[in-house]
Structure 1
Amino acid sequence: MPVAVPRFPGHLTDVAGLRVGHHTLAGHHTGCSVVLCPPGGAVAGADVRGAAPGTRETDLLHADHLVDRVHALLLSGGSAFGLDAAGGVMRWLEAQGQGLAVGPARVPIVPAAVLFDLWLARGPRPDAAAGWAACEAAASDPEAEGNVGAGTGATVGKLFGLPRAMKGGIGSASLRAHGVTVAAMLAVNAIGDVIDPATGLPLAGARTEDGLRLQHSARSIVQGLPVVVPATGSATTLGVVATDAVLTKPQANRLATVAQDGLARSINPVHTMSDGDTLFALATGGAGHTPPMTVLGTLAAEVVARAVLNAVRAATGLPGLPAAVDLPPG
């Protein structure tokens, strides 16, 4: 019987001005999620850490490149097919008059990243219509978690074969400290296990052969047990960490880099050859000041780890693919 599990408080929309919309392809185990920035955009950066990424418009976020603001971010299922959804987000923003002024035109800047959910999603993939629908659904209310949007077909714990994996999902968390808000939203679709940093025990991941307990993948690898490494590009955890602090583009990139520490605390193994782990950072500047980057980085890593745990706690199991609420931890 599923058991009640606690969640860390907060959502990405706790950063004032951000709106989140999910579009779920009902019955097809895939979807996409959009983060809409305030009018005029937000300063952004990115850190691509996995070895098999699927991304769009991440090069322009490099600290030495021209454009420093984005108008939306897209996280999508469907592997590389899901990048099509960014076109729908661009068209929706253009219809709202949002975008970078380039001569007579406005060009919305929409970086995107995709995860591999084709183990489950074997029908339609997120396309431009899905991206548009996610924008239409966007709101400043607390965003939904679990089997929605980009987390619909997410799975975790695949190092001992897909029959022993578990359900991943999408989750959020936020913190308010030092006069700023720092929040994160993660679509958790990892090769490795999701680990509770407080106990060192897995919450969701590879299961034992009988399917009733958690295997603890990293510990099993150290013990020399054989693994079944899925094909390259078969997973990926995606996320957005956002703050209302005032940041420059180099600082936003640094925030995305340090926020990856939150993945290292809560997923093991992480950043593998089969993952395309990517984090975006957004800074709206609404707080009007900039705490020390060491402070912001500490908050970002913590909130990312919390959002990862919330993602698997909110997930709902499917036939043959249980969720964290269906198994005891450890």
Structure 2
Amino acid sequence: MNAPFPAGDAGSITRVAGIEVGHFTDTRRPTGCTVVMAREGAVAGVDVRGAAPGTRETDLLHPSNLVDKVHAIMLAGGSAWGLEAATGAVRWLEERGVGLDVAVGRLPIVPAAVLFDLLVGDMRIRPDAAAGYAACAAASSADPTEGNVGAGAGAVVGKVFGIQHAMKGGVGTASVTVDGVTVGALIACNALGDVIDPDTAQVMAGARTDDGRGLRDTRRALLRGQPPQPLLAGTNTTIGVVATDAILTKVQAHRLAIAAHDGLARSINPVHTMSDGDTLFSLGTGRAGKSLGMMVLATMAAEATACATVRAVQAARSVTTAEGLYLPAMADLRG
């Protein structure tokens, strides 16, 4: 059998010149937020595929709209409440003179997306503006920490047959470099479906069997006629950012975000469901000074996204909440 995807150094989104990442992880319950920052501004796009998204300032990223550069992307837990974390990022950036020149000051542009982690611990604890501010203060160009951190602290995967049979998700990151151009991705994976190995189609983490010791394989279980547990819409969602140092137009950035969803489709099954708000942003810093063309960049974006999604469950660790919910990690089942 092939080795689990990926092998060796998977890279990270901060290998893209001009990109910084910072996490805030709440110590009171598993939740938090993650900022992907481009202080000098980056051409941006977005593609929303899930039917239950929670987002902020995504309309301005449409290719026909005016603003073509953003200064950060905020990813957060806490469902719609977590969108407040972006306000903290705006304040942090404004204090440092970063933002769009609006004559009377500089306005930081910070789109955001959230995932639902309110079933993991006390739902009254959610990322807020202070959390977003702290994530920015922690940002650096070092390889980001993965697993139970930031927006992925309360992430869970494989909930089709109930959260009691699910497993721990998290944050993962990866990058691909071709001919001096890098494309990287950072994914907070809180998918309703299973995470699968893109190379072998083997289930890596997701819905567990009734005894909790094995993997059910959600796709095959559904096709056998096993009924899913009734689902509350929007209680899942995978969110993330794909970034490149290639030169991009706003239209190309939009297409790159679309292509990145191919990576989710290769690494999550089922994906883009009525109960997920799957949203991916794209950033182009232009620091490489060239472009490889959209065929190559799109291929790299999908690859980095799939790899980062896998990394999210590989790096995750088990959680037991005060309420008694146990969420094992991939490493626990393999062990």
Shorter-chain TM-score tier: over 0.9
Determine the C-alpha separation between the residues in 1 that align with 2:230 and 2:301.
30
Percent sequence identity over aligned pairs: 60
8 Å Cα contact 2:39-2:98 kept in structure 1: no
What is the aligned partner in structure 1 of residue 131 from structure 2? 130
- One-letter identity of the residue aligned with 2:169: G
1:88-120, Cα deviation, whole Å (9 max, x unpaired): 000000000011111212111000000000011
3-state secondary structure, aligned to 2:251: helix
- One-letter identity of the residue aligned with 2:11: G
The yes-or-no answer on 1:220 pairing with 2:226 is no
3-state secondary structure, aligned to 2:263: helix
8 Å Cα contact 2:193-2:270 kept in structure 1: yes
- One-letter identity of the residue aligned with 1:222: L
The yes-or-no answer on 1:99 pairing with 2:99 is yes
Query: What are the within-5 Å matches in structure 2 for residues 163-202 of structure 1?
Result: 163-202=164-203
Determine the C-alpha separation between the residues in 1 that align with 2:69 and 2:240.
18
Identify unmatched segments of 5+ residues in structure 1.
none
Determine the C-alpha separation between the residues in 2 that align with 1:172 and 1:30.
18
- One-letter identity of the residue aligned with 1:84: E
The alignment's TM-score, normalised by the length of structure 2, stands at: 0.95
Q: Give how far 1:318 is off.
A: 1.4
Determine the C-alpha separation between the residues in 1 that align with 2:315 and 2:80.
26
Determine the C-alpha separation between the residues in 1 that align with 2:145 and 2:42.
23
What is the aligned partner in structure 1 of residue 281 from structure 2? 280
Q: Give how far 1:8 is off.
A: 5.0
Identify which range, 156-165 or 116-125, moves more after superposition. 116-125
Aligned length: 325
Q: 2:333 aligns with which of 322, 327, 330?
A: 327
What is the aligned partner in structure 2 of residue 144 from structure 1? 145
Q: Give how far 1:161 is off.
A: 0.7
What is the aligned partner in structure 2 of residue 89 from structure 1? 89
Query: What are the within-5 Å matches in structure 2 for residues 1-330 of structure 1?
Result: 8-39=9-40, 41-122=41-122, 123-319=124-320, 320-328=326-334
1:284-322, Cα deviation, whole Å (9 max, x unpaired): 001111111011000100110000000100000113210
The alignment's TM-score, normalised by the length of structure 1, stands at: 0.96
Identify which range, 97-106 or 134-143, moves more after superposition. 97-106
3-state secondary structure, aligned to 1:20: strand
Q: Give how far 1:168 is off.
A: 0.1
RMSD: 1.4
Flag the 1:288–1:136 CA change in 2: closer, same or farther, 3 A.
same
8 Å Cα contact 1:15-1:243 kept in structure 2: yes
Identify unmatched segments of 5+ residues in structure 2.
321-325
